[in-house]
């Protein structure tokens, strides 16, 4: 989230036409990359990037001691940001086997891209917000990941979040976002994973007469294991989408499904939480869960800054809080949507 604000804070305003603004979503990689370098610093790691020592101590988040705690950082992300010849900030890597990995480390951080577009362009038509969110989400992931099955799910998540905030139902948000995915090349894995998720979620709902909650939970776990374990981007998004669609709009049920499987459950739980939070709001989160969240005041402040990014009253001392990135690093994520697979996504009937 910090990186998005750093780059966009001086460029977004309340307007109906994004083309009149001095914004190039491909340049967002600059703010994101330098923010990620600060994150690397909090994990006790150093980067060989020439800007690391210039940017690592900037901003307000780096001053919070509790954030300087190693929290099982993603291997692909850390290698891309620390290794000589690794990521320069734009998804282009010289590390064989790392830049083309499919890991879910990109999609888990893409939800704010959907939120910031919705916040910054309140008068933009919903489909244009979602398209911009999709592109921005792809760039978010491409800073550390290069495989389409890692990058495209991030774009899909951002677009889904954008459509939900535009008052779409969950099924409608998926349906209205998948058009952007279909235009991309190498989209088959992500499309097919989402297709399977929607089919299986409908199957669980059709079995609503199962005698006990335990039976439903057992069937849900069987379904999720058919999708995968969530270690790769397309699987992680699909498991989260399944969990949300199968939950009948209940936050607790969605999170239960998303975190109870044997795979990368913290990532799939985070993505499901993004979707359900946008759909149902904070009031849907059980109080016993909220009371155990770390650094609540930090999360609230950054989220509010992201939500109110276009409000001038919010921008006092922002340069010190969210430093403008040094230089420009271009993302190598696809600059334009283009024809891709003809695979059609099955949409849930609920």
Which segments are annotated as binding site? Answer: 264, 266-267
Establish if 13 belongs to a structural domain.
Answer: yes
Cα 4 from Cα 27, distance rounded (Å): 11
Establish if 300 belongs to a structural domain.
Answer: yes
Establish if 337 belongs to a structural domain.
Answer: no
Give the pLDDT confidence of 102-145 residue by residue, as tens digits. Answer: 999 999 999 999 999 888 888 889 999 999 999 999 999 999 99
Establish if 350 belongs to a structural domain.
Answer: no
Give the pLDDT confidence of 214-233 residue by residue, as tens digits. Answer: 889 999 999 999 999 999 99
What domain range includes position 201? 2-321
Establish if 339 belongs to a structural domain.
Answer: no
* Residue 244 CB coordination number (10 Å): 31
Cα 84 from Cα 271, distance rounded (Å): 31
Q: Which of 261, 277, 271, 275 lies closest to 234 in space, CA to CA? A: 271
Which CATH number characterizes residue 115's domain?
Answer: 1.10.4080.10
Establish if 292 belongs to a structural domain.
Answer: yes
Establish if 158 belongs to a structural domain.
Answer: yes
Number of compact structural domains in the chain? 1
State if pTM tops 0.85.
yes
Mean pLDDT along residues 175-204: 96
Q: Which of 116, 119, 6, 9 lies closest to 55 in space, CA to CA? A: 6
Give the pLDDT confidence of 141-161 residue by residue, as tens digits. Answer: 999 998 999 999 999 999 999
Which segments are annotated as binding site for Mg(2+)? Answer: 264, 266-267
Establish if 299 belongs to a structural domain.
Answer: yes
Tell me how many degrees the CA angle 9-15-17 measures, rounded to the nearest 5.
110
């Amino acid at each position: 989230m910090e990186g998005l604000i750093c780059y966009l804070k001086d460029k977004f305003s309340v307007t109906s036409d994004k083309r009149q603004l001095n914004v190039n979503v491909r340049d967002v990689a600059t703010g994101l990359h330098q923010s990620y370098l600060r994150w690397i610093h909090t994990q006790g790691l150093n980067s060989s990037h020439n800007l690391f020592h210039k940017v690592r101590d900037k901003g307000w988040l780096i001053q919070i001691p509790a954030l300087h705690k190693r929290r099982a950082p993603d291997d692909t992300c850390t290698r891309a940001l620390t290794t000589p010849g690794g990521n320069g900030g734009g998804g282009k890597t010289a590390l064989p086997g790392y830049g083309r990995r499919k890991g879910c480390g990109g999609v888990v951080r893409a939800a704010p891209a959907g939120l910031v577009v919705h916040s910054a362009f309140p008068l933009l038509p919903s489909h244009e917000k979602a398209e911009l969110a999709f592109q921005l989400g792809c760039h978010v992931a491409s800073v550390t990941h290069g495989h389409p099955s890692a990058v495209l799910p991030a774009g899909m998540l951002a677009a889904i979040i954008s459509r939900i905030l535009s008052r779409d139902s969950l099924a409608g948000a998926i349906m209205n976002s998948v058009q952007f995915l279909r235009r991309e090349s190498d989209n088959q894995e992500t499309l097919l994973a989402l297709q399977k998720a929607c089919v299986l979620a409908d199957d669980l709902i059709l079995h609503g007469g199962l005698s006990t909650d335990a039976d439903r939970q057992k069937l849900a776990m069987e379904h999720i294991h058919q999708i995968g374990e969530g270690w790769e981007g397309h699987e992680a998004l699909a498991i989260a989408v399944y969990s949300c669609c199968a939950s009948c709009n209940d936050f607790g049920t969605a999170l239960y499904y998303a975190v109870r499987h044997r795979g990368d459950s913290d990532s799939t739980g985070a993505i499901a939480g993004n979707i359900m939070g946008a759909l149902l709001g904070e009031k849907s989160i059980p109080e016993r869960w909220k009371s155990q969240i770390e650094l609540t005041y930090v999360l609230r402040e950054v989220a509010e800054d992201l939500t109110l990014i276009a409000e001038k009253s919010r921008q006092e001392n922002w340069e010190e809080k969210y430093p403008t990135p040094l230089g420009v690093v271009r993302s190598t994520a696809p600059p334009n949507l283009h024809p891709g697979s003809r695979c059609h996504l099955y949409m849930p009937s609920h």
